[in-house]
Structure 1
Amino acid sequence: MSLLDRLAPPLFIFIWATGYIAAKLAAPYADPLTFLSWRYAGVALLMLGLALAARAAWPTPRQMLHLAVAGLGIQALYLAGVWVSIRQGLPAGTAALIVNLQPVLVAAAAPLIGERVSLRQWAGVALGLGGVLLVIWHKLNLGAGFGMPLLLCLMALLGITAGTLYQKRFVPQFDLRTGQVVQFGVALAATLPLAWALEPMRIVWNADVIIAMGWSILVLTAGGISLMFHMLRHGRVTAVSSTMYLVPSVTSVMAWLLFDETLGAQAIAGMGVTLLGVYLVVGQRKPETTA
């Protein structure tokens, strides 16, 4: 196993967790779809520059089509669903719980892409979800989560789950630079018209928004998404998705350090349960695959 293979999961968890911090910085000053449109354009331009400088290989037309379909789910539907649902009043804890159903859906659908989930891994999936529930329980408000915001968050869950499975099945190998030009170009093409139609496209370019945008483009998307794609290329999709169980725990620690949010004994216990669950999923020494 290479050094990158070893470092990718913890780096991905840390980077992905900072997404909620960036969102908290930008939310008061930027409409969500407008912010995401700028973000997608920035990543597409950054990756295009890197691809041209390195003369990277471009996907075939068939691969481009598959990347575009996966990108609509992983980028456009997921991010838009989460950002807009929270802006419309869905509590962040409720949104986090819904999105963290992803490993359950991925494990259930894994046989469709030739992966078999063992009983040990199913136990880990269940423990991980239970740990996440303990971590964010004090932030949950399910009574306020009905209506359109809930549907948008469910759309985000289905989008990233379907996109992850689709990409693993149809286009697991591609150059990360040119592939992300395709995916974020498609996400921009899908999101920008919605921003124009549904929002006043307000964005105040103050220090918080600039920091959030820069971090979102250079670290969250270019770094975090690249690491996720690397893990999907070299690992089992069930194990990769299960690492997301650790994101709420890391986010809670960050919020405690940066915003003085409460971090109680129940949350700490939940982190321990989540770690055990993820270990049961990713610690399988002999991966089982179907023919």
Structure 2
Amino acid sequence: MTTQRPDQSKAPSWLPFAPWLFVCLWSAGYGVAKLCLEYTTPLNLLAMRFVLTASILALPLVFYKVSFPSWRALGPLCLVSLCIHVVHFGLVYGGLSFGASAGVLALFAASQPLLVEISVSLFYRRFPRVVTMTGLGLGMAGAAYVIIMRHEFSAGALLGALMGFLAVVSFSIGTACDRYRTKNESPLAGYFVQYLFAAI
């Protein structure tokens, strides 16, 4: 006689709201960072971000007794962390502190999926699709249009915009590296290592 087990795959009740919560948090990121940088420096904001996130991830890591990644996996994880967290957010916060508007950096961030596809194509030694290159060109043209219409021609604003673009390039390279590498570790352990490395 088989006993009926409760359905463990049932989705939690809050799951339908998760995408909307993510969009709200993500869209507010640049504006909140711009506001925070009026009271602190980019390096302090980076340190607080990485230390706080690593501390939060450490709790479920210990509670669920998640196994730590192997020594061989640490190198690629640290490389991904360097591109996605350290360089990306460092350039974003630096660009905002130099005077770039959050809207311009958000436009650069919108081109991120295209840059990721281009980076993956280069990893596999393929030429990116024409439609991808066209979309990237339109995105850059949109960012340039916003800069021109807002008359953001000061040296600090232009340098900040350039840093914002390089931040998205770094994020795209890190994402491509993350897709390219072999993943044997738990996602929770992988994220913990990335944020711990970034905090150090």
Is the partner of 2:158 in helix, strand or coil?
coil
Q: Which moved more, 1:9-18 or 1:123-132?
A: 123-132
CA distance in 1, matches of 2:173, 2:65: 31
Matched, 1:77 2:81: no
1:15 Cα deviation after fit:
2.4
Q: 1:184 aligns with which of 188, 192, 195?
A: 195
CA distance in 2, matches of 1:159, 1:7: 30
Is the partner of 1:146 in helix, strand or coil?
helix
**CA displacement 1:22-56 (0-9 Å, x = unmatched):** 22442222212102101211111111121011101
Question: Over the residues paired in the alignment, what is the CA RMSD in angstroms?
Answer: 3.7
Is the partner of 2:185 in helix, strand or coil?
coil
Cross-structure match for 2:180: 169
CA contact (8 A) 1:113 1:168 kept: no
Q: 1:25 to 1:94 in 2, by over 3 A?
A: closer
Which has more helix, going by share of residues?
Answer: 1
Number of equivalences: 186
Q: 1:132 to 1:18 in 2, by over 3 A?
A: farther
CA contact (8 A) 1:47 1:177 kept: yes
Runs of 4 or more off by more than 6 Å in structure 1? 4-8, 115-119
CA contact (8 A) 2:107 2:142 kept: yes
1:176 Cα deviation after fit:
2.6
CA contact (8 A) 1:44 1:184 kept: yes
1:46-61 equivalences in 2 (<5 Å): 46-61=56-71
Q: Which amino acid aligns with 1:41?
A: V
1:110 Cα deviation after fit:
3.0
Cross-structure match for 1:14: 24
Q: Which amino acid aligns with 2:89?
A: L
**Unaligned runs of at least 5 residues, structure 1:** 190-291
Is the partner of 2:24 in helix, strand or coil?
helix
Is the partner of 1:143 in helix, strand or coil?
coil
1:74 Cα deviation after fit:
0.8
Q: 1:35 to 1:179 in 2, by over 3 A?
A: same
Cross-structure match for 1:108: 118
Cross-structure match for 1:152: 163
**Unaligned runs of at least 5 residues, structure 2:** 1-9
Q: 1:171 to 1:76 in 2, by over 3 A?
A: farther
Is the partner of 1:58 in helix, strand or coil?
coil
1:179 Cα deviation after fit:
1.2
Is the partner of 2:153 in helix, strand or coil?
helix
Percent identical among aligned pairs is 22
Return the TM-score normalized by structure 2.
0.73
Q: Which amino acid aligns with 1:146?
A: L
Q: 1:10 to 1:136 in 2, by over 3 A?
A: farther
Name the larger-Rg structure: 2
1:8 Cα deviation after fit:
6.4
Q: Which amino acid aligns with 2:169?
A: L
Q: 1:136 to 1:9 in 2, by over 3 A?
A: farther
Matched, 1:64 2:71: no
Q: 1:146 to 1:25 in 2, by over 3 A?
A: closer
CA distance in 2, matches of 1:52, 1:185: 15
1:167 Cα deviation after fit:
0.5
CA contact (8 A) 2:147 2:153 kept: no
CA distance in 1, matches of 2:142, 2:182: 31
Matched, 1:28 2:38: yes
Return the TM-score normalized by structure 1.
0.52
Q: 1:93 aligns with which of 91, 100, 103?
A: 103
